[in-house]
Structure 1
Amino acid sequence: MSKDVLVVGGGAIGMLSTLLLARSGAAIHLLEEHSLGKESSWAGGGIVSPLYPWRYGAAVTALAHWSQDFYPGFGKLLLAATGIDPEVHASGLYWLDLDDEAQALAWAAREGRVLRAVDILEVHQRVPVLGPGFERAIHMPGVANVRNPRLVKALRAALLAMPNVTLREHCPVTGFIQEGGLICGVTTAAGEIRAQRVVLAAGAWSGELLATLGLKLPVEPVKGQMILFKCAEDFLPSMVLAKGRYAIPRRDGHVLVGSTLEHAGFDKTPTEQALASLRASAIELLPALADAEVVGHWAGLRPGSPEDIPFIGALPGYEGLWLNCGHYRNGLVLAPASCQLLADLMAGREPIIDPTPYSPAGRLG
């Protein structure tokens, strides 16, 4: 069997890459080791912004800005096409007691983003459930969050409706087919699958797969644990972030609190220690959560990469192999721009942004 393009990895990056590539009419085969969208894309918080956008370089900022502007319309398109609402919810975000508040405000002025310092009394008026003891705040009103489990469900439904897309779940890829320096497919437990081009979008597992070619991709798993509370629908009107922990309101009243940063290999086991730490942070931020039920606790693996800059583009010396991986904590944030950039490069179109910072050339070991 042969396809125009094989996409390895069925998270948000892999599914959206497939969607955009398929729109050109190419025959796409998407392979996922487990179930589509059930790894870090499902496990994350879904804030449509880097947690501290001013702390990133220009490469991440360019992808983030393009994606943030794209998400509201994209959510509506997915809802219209699939009947599944990803719930792109522009709740805004308050950062509390930042050490680098001045740098944040300077960054916003330079980048033309709406961000302002607000009196802490105003924050308590707008977020009455906020805990005491905070002294300073900055606010970005336009920041949205997307309900990521619904986003990946909508993407899967959209792909199932495309006649030129084949989805294969529970199909682990074990290596690449290489002939004369050309990558022309992959090997799986079910046999070989050939294609003119292969896109590697396997998140934290991307390095493991490239190692089968003797390449060292500096992408490693970074574990993050989250907890979910059930509250009244109007409990939390805005996202809040302090001391590295955040609370995210969903439209139905669920409040998501995260997250940990752990270097524990590929272990995704939730721990009691993390549960206690996250719950303590939640109660410090929003004391009323002390009486709320924890209805979920899980862990996911982020694909950590140097300077958090993803690898997007062709891999030199391995014709036919393309990368779209290494987004660390920002996979959902950067997915639209990353996948559009990849699609532009693969189609030979003028790219949406300068692709140079993301090129795999010279960045692998």
Structure 2
Amino acid sequence: MNADWIGEKIEVDEATIIVGGGAIGLLSAYRLACAGEAVVVLDRGECGRESSWAGGGIVSPLYPWRYSPAVTALAHWSQDFYPQLGERLRAESGIDPEVHVTGLYWLDLEDEAQALAWAAEQARPLQQVPIAEVEQALPVLAPGYRQALHMPGVANVRNPRLVRALRTALQCMPGVEIREHCAVEGFLREGARVVGVRTAQGALRGRRVVVAAGAWSGELLKSLGLALPVEPVKGQMILFKCAADFLPAMVLANGRYAIPRRDGHVLVGSTLEYAGFDKTPSGVALASLHASAAALLPALAEAEVVAHWAGLRPGSPDGIPAIGPVPEHDGLWLNCGHFRNGLVLAPASCQLLCDLLLGQTPIVDPAPYAPALHLLGQQ
């Protein structure tokens, strides 16, 4: 399939080439374009149709206290930034990403004490609440839960609309070109320097190359002899149609979550499967998700199932992304390996990338994300 060009044609030699048009790639392009940089985004399919489209969109790690300080730093910055990002994209694109603040309840956690200690240390508003209070706030909740934690400020973003808003905003910006159905097959090199990419439609040279190819990032970097431990991790979701006021807050129990959208859709997920690049939805997963949904919110047993799908997360050790320049490969940059938190961490990850790339003061300490720490055999 030939590449589809979107936006203005630019002098590619002077541009930053971004490989991957998901939330990370598009937002990286957006931040660079806002700084006056020329950008070309390449995607093997349609922008935003892989993990960014398939996920739930909770603007928090599912269990934030179980992550490293490196993930926490990016998550906190992103959570604070999301409301203004949503408003800006809505104004520029005409598409509302629906950054929807509902709060999140965790039920019957085994590590509740650890969660509360983390919240106190991080000054985050996570509190114990009586289960009777939860039942009053969520009348559709199944009976039998014993304890709950609540964080009131947690939002969810409607991820398909977020990536559509980013793509549309980029189309309107000068110095931006998007090429869909343009698979990157390898890299162009001059000595140790990466100077572009090879695609199914031919070679493209650029000032630098940023790999933000999600679950495909590790495979792509193998062509340079680089071993980045990023692998596909399948996740399946189910979507129900309910009344707009059916579920006023997000809720998580027994490893499964329910997310309300503004229009009454309720998203329930997700599975965690190591099945290579197969993203075929399965009947077994559908049955499991449906059973979990009904156990959490009994009315969903009879609710209309709108859709069931699967996506591939970019799995990585400890969920810490690699962000920054690749040693001994001048011109090559990474922004990948976000595992289950790509949408959560995207604003901070992309701002950090731009800070480093443009020589600005970074928003957070970049050391934990340095590619040298993540590439096997490079330490």
- Structure 1 runs (4+) greater than 2 angstroms displaced: none
Mapping 1:130-209, distance limit 5 Å: 130-209=141-220
Q: Could you say which residue in structure 2 is the equivalent of 1:324?
A: 335
Q: Which residue of 2 aligns with 1:253?
A: 264
Distance (Å, rounded) in 2 between the aligned partners of 1:363 and 1:240: 33
Q: How far is 1:363 from its partner?
A: 2.4
Q: Which is worse superposed, 23-32 or 337-346?
A: 23-32
How many aligned positions are there? Answer: 365
1:315 equivalent to 2:322? Answer no
Matched with 1:4 is 15
Q: Distance in 1 between matches of 2:226 and 2:297?
A: 46
Query: How far did 1:362 drift?
Result: 3.7
Distance 2:360 2:194 in 1: 22
Q: Deviations over 1:185-210 (max 9, x none)?
A: 00001100000100000000000100
Structure 1 residues 7-57: Cα deviation after superposition (integer angstroms, max 9, x where no partner): 000000000000011112111110000000000000000000000000001
Number of the residue aligned with 1:231:
242
1:66 and 2:77 aligned: yes
**Aligned match of 1:343 in 308, 329, 354?**
354
Alpha-carbon RMSD: 0.6
Distance 2:328 2:294 in 1: 52
Residue type at the aligned position of 1:136: Q
Equivalent position SS for 1:10: coil
Within a 5 Å distance, the mapping from 1:278-297 to structure 2 comes to 278-297=289-308
Amino acid at match of 2:245: D
Aligned AA for 2:269?
Answer: G
1:37 to 37, 48, 51: 48
Residue equivalent to 2:230: 219
Q: Percent of counterpart pairs with the same letter? A: 70
Q: In the TM superposition, what whole-angstrom CA distance separates every residue of 1:263-320 from its partner, at most 9, and x where no partner exists? A: 0000000000000000000000000001101110000000011111000000000000
Distance 2:224 2:249 in 1: 46
Residue 233 of structure 1 contacts residue 253 of structure 1 at CA under 8 Å; is this kept in 2? yes
Structure 1 contact 115–140 (Cα < 8 Å) conserved: yes
1:96, 1:138 within 8 Å by CA — same for their partners in 2?
yes
TM-score (norm 2): 0.96
User: Which AA in structure 2 matches 1:309?
Assistant: I
- Normalised to the residue count of structure 1, the TM-score between the two structures is 0.99
Inter-CA distance 192–70: structure 2 relative to 1 (3 Å threshold): same
Do 1:310 and 1:358's aligned partners in 2 also have CA atoms closer than 8 Å? yes
1:48-101, Cα deviation, whole Å (9 max, x unpaired) = 000000000100000000000000111011111111100000000000000000
Q: Distance in 1 between matches of 2:40 and 2:115?
A: 42
The residue number in structure 1 matching 2:27 is: 16
What residue ranges of structure 2 are gaps of 5+ in the alignment? 1-11
- The alignment partner of 1:48 has SS state of coil
| Distance in 1 of aligned mates of 2:247 and 2:115 | 24
